[in-house]
Amino acid sequence: MDDARNRLVDAAEACFTRFGVAKTTLEDIATEAGVSRATVYRYFEGGRDEIILGVVLREGREFLASLDRRVQREQTLEDAIVEGVMYTVAAVRKNDHLALLFAPEVAGHTTSIAGASTALYELTQDFLRPIFEQAGTSGQLRDGIYSEDAAEFVLRMILSLLSVAGPRKRSQAKEREFLRRYCAGAIVRS
């Protein structure tokens, strides 16, 4: 991302924090960046939706770098899956810009969430795929499990945990046990 686009994404982040996503206008972002609306459109032809996508993707890239450091500490693939899911869910809930994908205030107000979801999905798939490819090569995956599908399954588990509050509340220990049995257990050879 070039400097001008980065400055506009910075301005959008500041406006989202100040006004909320649903109430932030393109004019707000232009004013915060000290540019005209035309300048914003020059760098983000899709307008506000494209800027929201830019915010989410930049945060997503930064998050995946921290997730990589986190899962590299784990000794087993099973532990990396469980701890990676736990870390991701907690981090997204704390990160206002990544949480945009799941915010009720945004749903229905913008088409950017669909684009952000797709782009973030692809970014995450690109992160997870090599982990599962290596696991498949080393015989750690259950028979019939393909790396691409395993990456999608873990991502869908994360998305489900982020978007659906229930039906049960679990302690962190019980959540780990649940993920170990049903998420990692579906993928990793025992």
CATH domain 56-187 topology: Tetracycline Repressor; domain 2 (1.10.357)
CATH number of 1-45, picked from 3.40.605.10, 3.40.980.10, 1.10.10.60, 1.20.1730.10: 1.10.10.60
Query: How many CA atoms within 13 Å lie on the side-chain side of 11?
Result: 23
Write down the residue that tokens 């220990």 correspond to: 173
In angstroms, the CA 63 to CA 133 distance is 21
Name the residue with tokens 């701890």: 83
The answer on pLDDT for 95 being more than 90 is: no
Distance, first Cα to last Cα, the chain: 43
Domain residue ranges of the chain, discontinuous segments joined by +: 1-45, 56-187
- pLDDT by residue (tens digit) across 119-166? 777 888 889 989 999 999 999 999 999 988 998 899 889 888 887 777
Quick one: tokens of 74?
């784990």
pLDDT range class, residue 100, cuts 50, 70, 90: low
